[in-house]
């Protein structure tokens, strides 16, 4: 079957074609080392990830190295590959993944774990690092999963803890040296891994011995080789102005989730919400200078022709030079009909230029994340958001023509009671009717309600998560509250995260090494694309946990005693454990 025939048999074939504007295709004759960045999700999602674009640009800036990309294909494409005994290949040169020197997986979500195995399986690559010898690539991972890499420890040769921009260059240098000396990167794998394990930020799981207690906490965690660290310290880019990547921007041939240029203006977040894992992963706060951002925006616009530039950070409106930056960008780009987007705005810092920017954007909707319904609960979770300021921001938005507001909340937070849920509906109702002061109709409010998961490296990591029955009761109560108020149902749309998906996510994010076998069992039974509710199958996960001796709900919802050693305690994210404990106590007293 030709590649063209394959494409005729699958949905959205442009996902698999490559050949995008600014994709890098190098002459194989000039290449000494080839790497493939793998994203265990669909192309549409992977190409919206800034990290993969940054690494692609860094690696391809080396003349003797080719860096390509591969994504997890949708089941229809997988079927065609299997039916025709074909292997999964890279987008750029069509090389099967098993033929690369290095595969680098960007793993940012626990619900992608089975997709990693799917990509291995479609490439004929054995699942565990110990099964792979000289004939296979070195397979590494990085991304948010490094906050607790233990559930995927068996699958990877090494895992980068923290940000990979700088350390990836060291990894490639060492691998190139081994390839030159021994003919293939993994010809002397043990020797290679020992050398790599001494590089700051690199964790080689197979070199550590771990014993667990029955409650999934750690009895003993010891390095099994001399000279390797017992604690792995996160690595991160110290100066964002010196890491000016990407300098080019691939333009997909098919619409992707974030179909625009994205430029980081800040990395990290000045706030310390106690449930937030992103804060730990991206700390410390680093700020890019307005001049550098402006020059990068001009360059990326020139090479891509995109008509929208998004200024990215966890909390964009906390960027200290926002007013001047936005003014300069609007002045330069409005002449070119390029719009500037500002996601993650907080109500507090909406200044003159920012509101000008917001009012010039498509007035479809504005998003805020109060996370909890009452001030009391927001204080417990340390969510610094002032509801009066939120109302002021909403008024400004309605005046500018906005019709919709989206609000993010969590349920199952510590010390939450039903009055906190009632406050969510009150807030949504008031915000909706507020628009009547400026327009004929009330606003449409969209409530996105997720379930609180006590994630590793946060002050709440020791807490329990709500049992499934309790989460369902709270979801039902919120629906009932909306239905009980005449006319409110048409104004408030409520969307809940799937209870079962949240439980799998929690169990995997708080798990230990034993879960590598659970993930493998779930994959063998057909689990993949677990983020997608139409693909997700809870029965499979329940069986996979129970066959390996675990109860899925107990694994997800257990609380952990403060004095216990956690499966992820060997990772130093730069945030002192005593500080996390103090924050935990402050929240609950």
Cβ proximity to ligand SF4: between 165 and 371 the closer is: 371
What track of x and - describes contact with ligand SF4 for positions 283 through 322 (by CB under 6 A)? -------------------------------xx-------
Of residues 497, 570, 441, the one with CA closest to residue 153: 570
- Decide if 478 contacts 449 (C-beta within 8 A): yes
Helices and strands (DSSP H and E) totals, the chain: 20, 19
Residue 109 binds ligand SF4 (CB under 6 A): no
> Could you give the residue ranges of the DSSP H alpha helices within 266-335?
277-282, 290-304, 322-334
Q: Interacting stretch for ligand SF4, rule CB under 6 A, among 81-89, 275-283, 404-412, 521-529?
A: 275-283
Residue 17, both tokens: 């074609």
Residue 258 binds ligand SF4 (CB under 6 A): no
Q: Tell me the closest approach of the beta carbon of residue 111 to ligand SF4, in angstroms.
A: 20
Cβ proximity to ligand SF4: between 7 and 278 the closer is: 278
Residue 587 binds ligand SF4 (CB under 6 A): no
C-alpha torsion angle, residues 427, 430, 432, 437 (rounded to 10)? -150
Q: From the list 14, 17, 254, 278, which residue makes contact with ligand SF4 (rule: CB under 6 A)? A: 278
Q: Tell me the closest approach of the beta carbon of residue 380 to ligand SF4, in angstroms.
A: 14
Q: Tell me the closest approach of the beta carbon of residue 583 to ligand SF4, in angstroms.
A: 12
Cβ proximity to ligand SF4: between 359 and 450 the closer is: 450
Residue 348 binds ligand SF4 (CB under 6 A): no
- Interface positions, 162-191, toward ligand SF4 (CB under 6 A): none
Please compute, for residue 204, the number of CA atoms within 13 A of its CA located in the half-sphere on the CB side: 24
Radius of gyration (Cα) for the chain, nearest Å?
24
Cα 509 from Cα 111, distance rounded (Å): 9
Cβ proximity to ligand SF4: between 87 and 271 the closer is: 271
Q: Tell me the closest approach of the beta carbon of residue 262 to ligand SF4, in angstroms.
A: 16
Q: From the list 141, 167, 276, 393, which residue makes contact with ligand SF4 (rule: CB under 6 A)? A: 276
Q: From the list 12, 225, 233, 271, which residue makes contact with ligand SF4 (rule: CB under 6 A)? A: 271
Residue 279 binds ligand SF4 (CB under 6 A): yes
Residue 517 binds ligand SF4 (CB under 6 A): no
- Decide if 171 contacts 140 (C-beta within 8 A): yes
Cβ proximity to ligand SF4: between 6 and 278 the closer is: 278
3-state SS, 81-120, equals HHHCCCCCECCCCCCEHHHCCEEEEECCCHHHHHHHHHHH
Q: How many residues bind ligand SF4 (CB under 6 A)?
A: 9
Q: Interacting stretch for ligand SF4, rule CB under 6 A, among 122-130, 276-284, 423-431, 457-465?
A: 276-284
Contacts of 354 (CB under 8 A, 6+ apart): 317, 322, 323, 326, 342, 345
SS3 57: helix
Q: Interacting stretch for ligand SF4, rule CB under 6 A, among 12-20, 126-134, 268-276, 451-459?
A: 268-276
Q: Tell me the closest approach of the beta carbon of residue 46 to ligand SF4, in angstroms.
A: 22
Say whether the peptide bond before residue 166 is cis (omega within 30 degrees of 0). no
Cα 299 from Cα 247, distance rounded (Å): 7
Cβ proximity to ligand SF4: between 279 and 510 the closer is: 279
Residue 273 binds ligand SF4 (CB under 6 A): yes
Ordered DSSP codes for 360-385: HS-TT-EEEEEESSSHHHHHHHT---
Rounded alpha-carbon distances, angstroms, from residue 140 to 45, 104, 469, 507, 512: 20, 5, 38, 23, 19
Residue numbers at the binding site for ligand SF4 (CB under 6 A):
269, 271-273, 276, 278-279, 314-315
């Amino acid at each position: 079957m030709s590649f063209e025939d394959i494409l005729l048999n699958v949905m959205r074939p442009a996902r698999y074609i490559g050949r995008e504007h600014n994709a890098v295709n190098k002459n194989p004759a000039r290449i000494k080392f080839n790497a493939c960045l793998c994203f265990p999700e669909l192309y549409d999602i992977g190409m919206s990830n800034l990290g993969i674009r940054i690494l692609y640009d860094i690696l391809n800036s080396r003349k003797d190295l080719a860096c390509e990309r591969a994504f997890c294909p949708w089941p229809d494409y997988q079927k065609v590959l299997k039916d025709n005994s074909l292997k999964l290949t890279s987008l750029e040169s069509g090389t099967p993944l098993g033929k690369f020197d290095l595969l680098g997986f960007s793993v940012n979500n626990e619900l992608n774990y089975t997709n990693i195995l799917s990509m291995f399986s479609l490439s004929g690559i054995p699942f565990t690092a110990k099964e792979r010898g000289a004939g296979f690539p070195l397979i590494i991972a990085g991304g948010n999963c490094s906050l607790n890499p233990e559930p995927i420890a068996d699958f990877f040769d090494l895992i980068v803890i923290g940000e990979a921009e700088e350390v990836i260059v060291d990894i490639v240098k060492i691998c190139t040296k081994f390839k030159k000396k021994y003919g293939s990167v993994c010809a002397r794998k043990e020797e290679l891994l020992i050398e790599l394990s001494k590089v700051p930020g690199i964790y080689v799981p197979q070199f550590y011995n771990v014993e667990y207690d029955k409650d999934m906490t750690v009895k003993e965690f010891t390095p099994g080789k001399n000279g390797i660290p017992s604690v792995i310290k996160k690595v991160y880019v110290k100066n964002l102005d010196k890491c000016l990547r990407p300098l080019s921007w691939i333009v997909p041939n098919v619409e992707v989730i974030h179909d625009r240029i994205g430029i980081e203006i800040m990395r990290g977040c000045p706030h310390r919400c106690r449930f937030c894992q992103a804060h730990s992963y991206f700390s410390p706060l680093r700020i890019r200078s307005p001049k550098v951002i402006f020059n990068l925006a001009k360059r990326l616009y020139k090479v891509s022709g995109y008509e929208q530039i998004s200024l990215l950070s966890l909390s964009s409106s906390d960027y200290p030079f926002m007013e001047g930056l936005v003014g300069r960008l609007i002045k330069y780009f409005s002449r070119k009909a390029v719009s500037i987007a500002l996601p993650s705005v907080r109500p507090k810092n909406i200044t003159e230029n920012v509101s000008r920017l917001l009012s010039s954007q498509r007035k479809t909707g504005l998003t805020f994340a109060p996370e909890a319904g009452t001030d009391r609960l927001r204080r417990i979770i340390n969510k610094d958001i002032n509801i009066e300021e939120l109302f002021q921001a909403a008024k400004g938005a309605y005046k500018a023509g906005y019709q919709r507001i989206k609000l993010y909340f969590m349920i199952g937070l510590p010390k939450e009671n039903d009055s906190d849920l009632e406050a969510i509906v009150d807030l949504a109702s008031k915000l909706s009717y507020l628009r009547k002061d400026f327009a004929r109709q009330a606003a449409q409010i969209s409530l996105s309600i997720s379930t609180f998961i006590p994630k590793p490296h946060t002050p709440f990591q020791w807490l329990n998560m709500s049992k499934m029955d309790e989460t369902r009761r709270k979801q039902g109560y919120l629906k009932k509250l909306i239905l009980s108020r005449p006319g409110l149902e048409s104004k408030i749309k409520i969307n809940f995260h799937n209870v079962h998906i949240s439980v799998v996510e929690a169990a995997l994010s708080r798990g230990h090494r034993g879960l590598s076998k659970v993930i493998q069992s779930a994959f063998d039974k057909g689990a993949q694309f677990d983020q997608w509710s139409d693909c997700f199958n809870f029965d499979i996960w329940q069986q996979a946990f129970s066959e390996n001796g675990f109860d899925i709900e107990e694994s997800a919802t257990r609380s952990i005693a403060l004095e216990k050693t956690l499966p992820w305690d060997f990772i130093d994210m730069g945030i002192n454990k005593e500080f996390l404990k103090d924050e935990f106590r402050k929240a609950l007293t």
